[in-house]
């Protein structure tokens, strides 16, 4: 009887027992019956898998490099019977090993192929070829990984070579018998020897040219032939009554001789039985593949920290830690190999296919880190975000993900510095985080400026050509045929012209089609560059003689202020991004109607430039916990949050009990309000907790302390204990707590502690915060201690997340634009009322008329005060909020009123950060970066 281990190898389709038979015909019948039953059981198993997984399309790829079409046909027939889709890759006879490996590697990376088999000449079955096949796709079980598992006895973890399984099925009880393998080397021979020995057989292996071949053949009870028999080896060397099984296609010519000698040959049965077992392996592989697609429990190995005192610089701390390879991190958190695209050693893009794979996985808890009205130095929201996830995962063993914005190059080389956190709570490597990362901002710059070029080029061509000339150039004759592109057909439909033949348009239809009639004075789309360059705030374009005098004033914005960046942050899929890009309004025509990127025919090209940028970038914290860095919209004129896609993917990966912690730009009055009213509307996600970051320094400023200036030393009020300033300044903290409560979400105050803060000041802030309605208030020391310094904050967040959540939006989208602005001004900022300039009112009327009145509001105002006046600290009241202008980001999906004057191109200070930044030409290490 077969051993339990062998039966497990053959599960699930092998019948429990087959009737014994003797002689050639009986063995063939036995093999055919086994193949039939295996195929029938495999068919049932696969049908059951398809019922449970309706989207399942199991596909087996077979690489063939010979001209035997019979085997191809047999494979196809068996696959169709089972319900598998087969792709045959037929390579020319004589193909090299490198050509075979190239095809294998290509199919390895094809997510639509779950199994890969090889039908090659014997000379091509080398270790290089066999081990090129991914073990998880190796349905023939010939890779070293599968064979190693078989030898170790890990039957459940490996796929047994089908030929070896077929041979074992055809043999009767072989315990104590001598089995000779002739010309059966390589992977199949090794598998056979292992399986035979487990059944109690004495196994010998021999080459056809071996001098002892005749002797060994004469003493063998069973001979398994693995390759073509040479002509100089007579059949008479095999003693009568020996069971002979051939795995070679060319051995059939010996059949008559074996029959005459009463040998029980079964070579005919091996081929079809092996193919049936290959299909059985494919079904088993599909079961594994389905299991691999399900949510995987994290197996995260956190990195150890040894904080130093005094705390070194950020970059010294970053370099002192050795990050995990990003593919290791990805595997630890349950990402599949084909779901990541690696950029170097420490960062990788994550493919959006993961959302489909884990669509049924419950989301984790969603935490937003916001802040009080900050000083120009910032109060450490990013540092709190990183410290919190380090505490949750590395110290409390709770899955957590940080989702951060990608910083602009402008602040990095300007004055603010980076956004990777700081001290012992940061993303590493911090220089990679703060510089090019994976090139997303460059992709946005390229897409934005392509659209800007398209606008001016279209104005020039329309002003210098007739309708007919424009039409002939826009719809040219190519190879004697004229046709509309897909985007041109879409424009015709929007114009109400339901024609597809370019030759059938009337002159009037032709004119409507070719003329956008852009009014240059209404162009809102600007060029961008990711550098603080104040002299680009106002420019003149079109001065060259070639532009025929079409001169106009324009400007550059910082790249992260591009609407394309806001779209990247709010999009939910590639299709959604394409639609949003097409909806972007770049100007009005001379009739006051909006002109879009879709009208300019550039949508598809923009999507191509953005196809990689849409994927979140995976990095890690100092303690080896995962981070998504994705999107970085300007926090003044846009919503200032990282991407919806990063949050959605992270919420699936952490599991139902895990946490995703993301950050809002600036104070809660700007970043948090936009997060809830804009980002949560786009994503459909419901926040669990708000962490409100405060510092004693900022509270003293709001209590009447002197101005805080970036780059200048702090005054003594900020370095010495002053409880009265702290108490007076807590009004701003109280107001920000009240703003959070407007949305019905529990709030935990995180007091980011500096070494100059006294214990009495810290206790006072926490006491006032809790009295003002905070669920809890916790002092945090993560900057100096890493995750360990934020454990109490993590525990408070975990408790708050279990509280009743009554999240609600601040306003209905159906309200008029002006009323939505007024609600934000009065309820969030504390204004008495709003006042629109004539220009702002005119724009409101225009957007309402154009059908954009039901979009959310994205207020563009200073972050240094609750009011529109940066110098007014604390909680200003009784002021009228002036709205100087109202603009729209239709693709991103919001209206943005301008409160006072807002610059979208920062300038460099007298002494920018770049004075200290350098590159060591020997080590290539960046120096002077924070």
Domains with residue ranges and CATH for the chain: 171-250 (3.40.50.720), 314-437+612-802 (3.40.50.300), 441-610 (3.30.1510.10), 817-898 (3.10.410.10)
**Burial (CB count <10 Å: 0-12, 13-18, 19+), residue 875:** buried
Q: How far apart are CA 555 and CA 539, in angstroms?
A: 5
Catalytic annotation on 210? no
Catalytic, out of 783, 852, 879, 894: 783
Three-state DSSP at 256 gives helix
Q: How far apart are CA 16 and CA 914, in angstroms?
A: 75
Q: Are 863 and 373 in contact (CB under 8 A)?
A: yes
Catalytic annotation on 535? no
Written as six digits, the tokens of 27 are: 């063995």
Catalytic annotation on 349? no
Measured in degrees and rounded to the nearest 5, phi and psi for residue 451 equal: -65, -40
Written as six digits, the tokens of 596 are: 């879009």
Element holding 224 (H helix, E strand): strand 222-225
Q: How far apart are CA 204 and CA 197, in angstroms?
A: 10
Q: Are 368 and 663 in contact (CB under 8 A)?
A: yes
pLDDT at residue 414, rounded to an integer? 67
**Burial (CB count <10 Å: 0-12, 13-18, 19+), residue 29:** middle
Catalytic, out of 39, 242, 346, 383: 383
| Cα atoms found within 13 Å of the Cα of residue 915, Cβ hemisphere only | 7
**Burial (CB count <10 Å: 0-12, 13-18, 19+), residue 711:** exposed
Could you read off the pLDDT of 913-929 as tens digits, one per residue? 777 777 878 887 877 76
Written as six digits, the tokens of 516 are: 């956008």
pLDDT at residue 185, rounded to an integer? 80
Catalytic, out of 298, 666, 676, 894: 666
pLDDT at residue 232, rounded to an integer? 83
Q: Which residue positions in the chain have pLDDT lower than 70?
A: 1-30, 155, 249-269, 414-419, 929-930
- Closest listed residue to residue 339, CA positions, set 137, 659, 648, 618: 618
Distance of CA 546 to the CA centre of its chain: 45
**Pairing mode of beta strands 340-343, 347-350:** antiparallel
Q: Are 707 and 698 in contact (CB under 8 A)?
A: no
Q: How far apart are CA 142 and CA 158, in angstroms?
A: 10
User: What number of residues does the chain have?
Assistant: 930
Measured in degrees and rounded to the nearest 5, phi and psi for residue 244 equal: -120, 125
pLDDT at residue 774, rounded to an integer? 97
Catalytic annotation on 694? no
Q: Are 639 and 670 in contact (CB under 8 A)?
A: no
User: Which residue matches tokens 């909006």?
Assistant: 594
Catalytic annotation on 203? no
- Closest listed residue to residue 680, CA positions, set 688, 615, 804: 688
User: Which residue matches tokens 């999906």?
Assistant: 893
pLDDT at residue 96, rounded to an integer? 92
**Pairing mode of beta strands 340-343, 243-246:** unpaired
pLDDT at residue 253, rounded to an integer? 35
Element holding 663 (H helix, E strand): strand 659-663
pLDDT at residue 260, rounded to an integer? 37
Three-state DSSP at 455 gives helix
Catalytic, out of 278, 324, 365, 381: 381
**Burial (CB count <10 Å: 0-12, 13-18, 19+), residue 700:** buried
Q: In the chain, what are the helix, strand and coil shares in percent, each to the nearest 5?
A: 45, 15, 40
Catalytic annotation on 767? no
Three-state DSSP at 793 gives helix
Catalytic, out of 754, 792, 807, 846: 754
What spatial distance separates the first Cα and last Cα of the chain, rounded to whole Å?
72
Distance of CA 394 to the CA centre of its chain: 23
User: Which residue matches tokens 């916990």?
Assistant: 625
Catalytic, out of 264, 416, 580, 700: 416
Catalytic, out of 220, 446, 635, 840: 635
Contacts of 739 (CB under 8 A, 6+ apart): 668, 669, 672, 673, 828
Q: Measured between alpha carbons, how far is residue 840 from residues 36, 258, 525, 909 in Å? A: 78, 98, 18, 32
| Residues facing 86 on adjacent strands | 60
- pTM for this one? 0.85
Contacts of 508 (CB under 8 A, 6+ apart): none
Catalytic annotation on 381? yes
| Residues facing 61 on adjacent strands | 87, 116
Catalytic annotation on 416? yes
Strand order, beta sheet including 115-119: 85-90, 59-64, 115-119
pLDDT at residue 265, rounded to an integer? 43
Q: Are 744 and 800 in contact (CB under 8 A)?
A: no
Q: CA dihedral defined by 673, 676, 679, 680, rounded to 10 degrees?
A: 180
């Amino acid at each position: 009887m077969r051993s339990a281990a062998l039966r497990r190898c053959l599960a699930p389709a092998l019948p429990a027992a087959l009737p014994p038979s003797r002689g050639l015909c009986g063995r063939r019948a036995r093999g055919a019956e086994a193949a039939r039953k295996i195929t029938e059981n495999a068919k049932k198993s696969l049908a059951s898998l398809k019922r449970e997984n309706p989207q399942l399309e199991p596909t087996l790829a077979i690489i063939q490099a010979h001209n035997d079409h019979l085997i191809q046909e047999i494979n196809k027939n068996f696959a169709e019977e089972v319900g598998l889709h087969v792709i045959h890759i037929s390579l020319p006879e004589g193909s090299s090993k490198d050509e075979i490996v190239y095809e294998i590697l290509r199919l390895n990376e094809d997510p639509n192929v779950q199994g890969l088999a090889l039908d090659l000449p014997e000379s091509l079955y080398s270790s290089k070829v066999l081990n090129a096949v991914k073990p998880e796709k190796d349905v023939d079980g010939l890779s070293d990984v599968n064979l190693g598992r078989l030898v170790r006895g890990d039957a459940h973890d490996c796929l047994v070579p089908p030929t070896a399984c077929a041979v074992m099925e055809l043999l009767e009880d072989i315990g104590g018998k001598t089995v000779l393998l002739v010309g059966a080397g390589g992977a199949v021979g090794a598998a056979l020897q292992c399986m035979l020995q487990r059944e109690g057989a004495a196994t010998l292996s021999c080459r056809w040219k071996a001098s002892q071949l005749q002797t060994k053949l004469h003493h063998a009870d069973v001979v398994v032939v693995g390759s073509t028999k040479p002509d100089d080896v007579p059949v008479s060397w095999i003693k009568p009554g020996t069971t002979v099984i051939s795995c070679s296609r060319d051995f059939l010519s010996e059949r008559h001789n074996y029959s005459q000698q009463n040998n029980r040959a079964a070579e005919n049965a091996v081929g079809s039985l092996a193919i049936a077992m290959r299909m059985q392996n494919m079904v088993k592989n599909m079961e594994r593949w389905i299991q691999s697609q399900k949510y995987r429990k994290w197996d995260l190995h956190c990195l150890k920290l040894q904080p130093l005192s005094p705390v070194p610089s950020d970059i010294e701390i970053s370099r002192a830690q050795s990050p995990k390879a990003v593919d290791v991190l990805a595997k630890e958190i349950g990402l599949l190999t084909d779901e990541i695209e690696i950029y170097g050693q420490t960062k990788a893009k994550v493919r959006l296919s993961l959302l489909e794979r884990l669509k049924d996985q419950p989301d984790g808890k969603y935490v937003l880190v916001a802040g009080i009205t900050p000083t120009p130095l910032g109060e450490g929201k990013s540092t709190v975000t990183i410290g919190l996830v380090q505490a949750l995962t590395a110290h409390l063993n709770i899955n957590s993900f940080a989702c951060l914005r990608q910083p602009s190059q402008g602040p990095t080389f300007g004055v603010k510095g980076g956004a990777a956190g700081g001290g012992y709570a940061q993303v590493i490597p911090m220089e990679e985080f703060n510089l090019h990362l994976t090139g997303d901002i460059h992709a946005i710059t390229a897409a934005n400026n392509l659209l800007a070029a398209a606008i001016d080029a279209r104005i020039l061509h329309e002003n210098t050509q007739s309708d007919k000339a424009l039409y002939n150039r826009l719809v040219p004759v190519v190879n004697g045929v004229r046709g509309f592109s897909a985007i041109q057909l879409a424009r015709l439909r929007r114009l109400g012209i339901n024609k597809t033949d370019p030759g059938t348009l009337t002159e009037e239809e032709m004119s409507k089609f070719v003329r956008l009639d852009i009014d240059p004075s209404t162009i809102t789309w600007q060029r961008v560059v990711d550098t603080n360059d104040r002299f680009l705030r106002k420019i003149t374009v079109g001065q060259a003689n070639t532009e025929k005098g079409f001169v106009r004033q324009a400007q550059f914005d910082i790249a992260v202020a591009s609407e394309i960046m806001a779209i990247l942050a709010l999009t939910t899929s590639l299709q959604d991004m394409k639609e949003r890009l097409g909806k972007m309004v770049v100007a009005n025509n001379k009739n006051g109607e909006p002109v879009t990127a879709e009208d300019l025919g550039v949508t598809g090209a923009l999507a191509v430039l953005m196809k990689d940028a849409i994927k979140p970038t995976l990095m890690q914290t100092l303690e080896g916990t995962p981070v998504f860095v994705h999107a970085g919209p300007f926090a003044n004129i846009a919503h200032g949050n990282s991407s919806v896609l990063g949050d959605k993917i992270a919420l699936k990966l952490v599991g139902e009990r895990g946490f995703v912690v993301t950050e809002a730009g600036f104070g809660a009055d700007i970043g948090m309000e936009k997060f809830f009213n804009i980002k949560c509307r786009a994503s459909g996600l419901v926040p669990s907790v708000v962490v409100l970051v405060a510092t004693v320094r900022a509270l003293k400023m709001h209590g009447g302390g002197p101005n805080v200036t970036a780059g200048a030393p702090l005054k003594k009020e900020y370095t010495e204990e002053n409880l009265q300033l702290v108490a007076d300044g807590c009004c701003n903290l109280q107001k920000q707590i009240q703003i959070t409560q407007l949305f019905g979400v529990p709030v935990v105050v995180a007091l980011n502690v500096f070494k100059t803060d006294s214990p009495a000041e810290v206790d006072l802030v926490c006491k006032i915060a809790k009295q003002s309605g905070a669920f809890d208030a916790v002092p945090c020391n993560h900057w100096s201690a890493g995750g360990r310094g934020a454990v109490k904050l993590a525990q408070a967040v975990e408790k708050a997340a279990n509280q009743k959540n009554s999240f609600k939006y601040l306003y209905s989208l159906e309200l008029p634009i002006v009323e939505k602005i007024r609600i934000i001004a009065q309820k969030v900022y504390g204004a008495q009322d709003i006042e629109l300039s004539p220009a702002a009112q005119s724009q409101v009327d225009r957007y309402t008329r154009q059908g954009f009145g039901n979009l959310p509001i994205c207020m563009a105002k200073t972050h240094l005060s609750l009011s529109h006046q940066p110098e007014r600290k604390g909680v200003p009241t009784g002021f009228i909020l002036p709205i100087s202008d109202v603009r729209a980001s239709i693709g991103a999906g919001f209206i943005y009123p301008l409160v006072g004057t807002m610059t979208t191109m920062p300038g460099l200070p007298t002494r920018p950060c770049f004075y200290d930044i350098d590159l060591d030409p020997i080590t290539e290490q960046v120096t002077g970066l924070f």
